Amino acid sequence: GRSYLNMAEKISGSDAALKVIEEWGVDHIYGYPGGSFDSTMNALYNQSNKLKFIQVRHEEAGALAASAEAKLTGKIAVTFGSAGPGAVHLMNGLYDARQDHVPVLAIVAQVPSTKMNADNFQAIDEEPIFDDVSVWNRTVSSAQSVPAVVDEAIRQAYKHNGVAVVTIPKDFGWAMIDDTFVSNAKNHVDPIYPAPRAESIEKAVELIKSAKAPIIYFGIGAKRAAKELQAVSEKYKMPLVSSVLAKGILEEKYPAYLGSAGRVAPKPGAEIGFATDLILWVGNDSPFSRFLFNPNAKVIQIDIDNEKIGKRHVIDVPLLADAKEALAAIAAKGEELSPTPFYNAALEDKKNWNEWQDSFKNSEEVPLRPEPIFDVLNKTASDQAVFAVDVGNVNINFERLLDIRADQKWTTSGQYATMGYGLPASIAAKIAFPHRDVYSLSGDGGFAMLMEEILTQVKYQLHVVNIVFSNETLGFIEAEQRDDTHQPLSGVDLPDTDWATTAKGMGAEGFTVRTLQEMKDAIKAAAETSKPVVIDVKLTHEMPLTTEHMFLDPAVYPQDQIDEYVAKYQAQDLKPFSYFLAQAGGEQAKSNVVEEKP
């Protein structure tokens, strides 16, 4: 209580830190206690009605959950680790946030200030190890400054869309300080982006009008610009492709949206890049993109970050502007164009691909193909479902086969691509959106990496449906070893494991699925329990059709190579883009296929 007039109320350093975090709208924090974190665990206990502690079973999972949450909500998420191993364990999850540019605050404990820098138990120099992963990284130097430093960290994380790290020596957490700090959380405003320049818009529209085969290539920078993407596409008859992360911005069934480009891409998205002569590149920083397009194509690039302009492709028109504004200005400018042979061919190519994929929907092949499994998910997941997607072949199958709907959400480890992302991300999704149904989708490699987090789902009674695609291999790497480097398969085989029984041992429900009917039954049973569920789908060892090494076009590849490819992937009904272009009366753009890879 207040003892004398003019004397500030007292608060512990840790309580003051948590108060700032709460003021920024955070209501839970992921972590795992350690001795150096006692003072903050004490504060979490005191404030448990305002700030919920989520006990993950590995700090990596806590950091990944925070990263996933920030991706799903757009708001800062918080994780912590204790001094030494707890801090080091955070690292992998923090890198995920760094690479996908989301605000995360990591509170790192340190031994008491009196014991620092003298080779004590669990005492390491923590600042240098967080330097690379963070946008801002400081050790608090006095108890009184704890809340101000935490507030600074949060503002830095938001400003730079990255990881801010605050290291707090244990004694500062216990120390009683003046409760005088006022955070500025309520006054936080979203950044304002530049509007496009009129002369650049004019140049862009000129280029679009004079192109024969123009496309739009967008990334998650266009996430608020779905209407504008469609308006430009419809007005100038431009097919659309996206980065993988931009899946879901447009409805899957939108006829001119061909899906993503790149290795995980569906066939039309993979082909169109080499047939185009002009790319309207919007909010997209995909690291592979310079290998995905006709290098002679002209490029108009829209990005809010001038560091990104010209980074992935030589460009002709830079537009430093918000995607929504710039696209709206482009759409408002010129006359409507009529459909070109190129545009019509793109629509036909998409239809051909969809029909081919659909032809496997009811496949009774055993071990199972992915198409029937995703068909069940498409039919049973609600309009509000959230999908937490791990890393590996599951990215290919998800990208091509899950028909994401307007209000559904999904997340993966995009640029950093860490295995083990699925389970922690599903925990974040269920905590952030308790009324949505949540699925984690992993391969048997990714699932095993952080499967102890089933225990977290059980502890907090999170009804997550975890689907494990078991094919006893690290498929994504197996395909690389076979198709890219032509080496004998090395180190990719995984032992067959009974994940359903493992799940039951952890207190979840478990089902093994070997047939389509068993999948339908398991999904039904999953809806009838409130426990977390693990569905172990025994999947075919056959790899998804490769669109990176695609041998379909007789004008380019010898017939025996085509025959082999078609037989391997049951691709008899697939036709190359050039076929549809010729049918529509169009001519192929001049393209030098780039063979070099990162």
The catalytic residue positions are: 59, 121-122, 263, 391, 476-477, 480
Interhelix angle for 85-99 vs 59-73, to 10°? 30
What the block records as the tokens of 545 is: 């059709």
Question: Are residues 54 and 29 in contact, defined by beta-carbon separation less than 8 angstroms?
Answer: yes
Q: Which is nearer to ligand FAD, 416 or 569 (CB)?
A: 416
Kind and range of the H or E element at 134? strand 134-139
List, in sequence order, every beta strand (DSSP E) within 444-578: 464-470, 509-513, 533-538
The string over 122-154, giving b where at least 16 C-beta atoms fall within 10 Å of a residue's C-beta and e elsewhere, is bbbebeebbeebbbbbbbbeebbbbbbbbbbbb
How far apart are CB 82 and ligand FAD at their closest, in Å? Answer: 30
In the complex with ligand FAD, which residue's Cβ is closer, 417 or 571? 417
**Residues in the chain, overall count:** 598
For residue 133, which of 167, 172, 179, 101 has the smallest C-alpha distance? 101
Segments of 211-324 assigned E as strands: 214-218, 240-242, 257-260, 278-282, 298-303, 317-320
Residue 18 CB, nearest approach to ligand FAD (Å): 30
| Identity of the residue, 254 or 288, whose beta carbon is nearer to ligand FAD in the bound complex | 288
Residue corresponding to tokens 């007789």? 554
Is the Cβ of residue 19 or residue 313 nearer to ligand FAD in the bound state?
313
Nearer to ligand FAD, 34 or 392 (CB): 392
Q: Is 19 helix (H, G, I), strand (E, B) or coil?
A: helix
Q: Which is nearer to ligand FAD, 50 or 290 (CB)?
A: 290
**8 A C-beta contact, residue 60 and residue 108:** no
Nearer to ligand FAD, 306 or 501 (CB): 306
Nearest distance in Å: CB 107, ligand FAD = 25
For 532-548, the DSSP string reads -EEEEEEB-SSPPPPSS
DSSP assignments along 66-132, one per residue: HHHHHHHHSS-EEEEE-TTHHHHHHHHHHHHHHHTT--EEEEEEES-GGGTTS--TT---HHHHHTT
Host H or E run for residue 136? strand 134-139
Answer for the pair 425, 73: CB distance below 8 angstroms, yes or no: no
For residues 233 and 302, what is the distance between their CA atoms, to the nearest angstrom? 15
Which amino acid, 493?
A: D
Minimum gap (Å) between residue 239 Cβ and ligand FAD: 16
Smallest separation (angstroms) from ligand FAD to the CB of 71: 10
| CA 272/CA 349 separation, integer angstroms | 9
Q: Find the shortest distance in angstroms from Cβ 133 to ligand FAD.
A: 16
* 171 alpha-carbon distance from chain centroid: 38
Please report how close the Cβ of residue 302 comes to ligand FAD at its closest, in angstroms: 6
Locate 419 and state its tokens.
């295995």
Nearest approach, Cβ of 155 to ligand FAD (angstroms)? 19
- Closer to ligand FAD by CB, 33 or 287: give it: 287
- Tell me if 282 sits within 8 A of 222, measured CB to CB: yes
By C-beta, is 409 or 531 nearer to ligand FAD? 409
Instruction: Give the E-state strand segments of 369-508 in sequence order.
Output: 386-389, 409-412, 438-443, 464-470
Q: How far is the CB of 380 from ligand FAD (least distance, A)?
A: 25
Give least dist CB 568 to ligand FAD, A. 20
Amino acid at 380: T
Binding-site ranges for ligand FAD (CB under 6 A): 100-101, 193, 219-221, 243-246, 260-265, 283-288, 302-305, 308, 322-323, 391, 395, 412-415, 417, 476
Cβ proximity to ligand FAD: between 221 and 586 the closer is 221
| Spatial CA neighbour of 108 closest among 177, 176, 40, 181 | 40
Nearer to ligand FAD among residue 37 and residue 439 (C-beta): 439
CB atoms under 10 Å from CB of 203, counted, come to 16
Quote the least distance from Cβ 418 to ligand FAD, whole Å: 8
**Type and span of the H or E element at 456:** helix 454-459
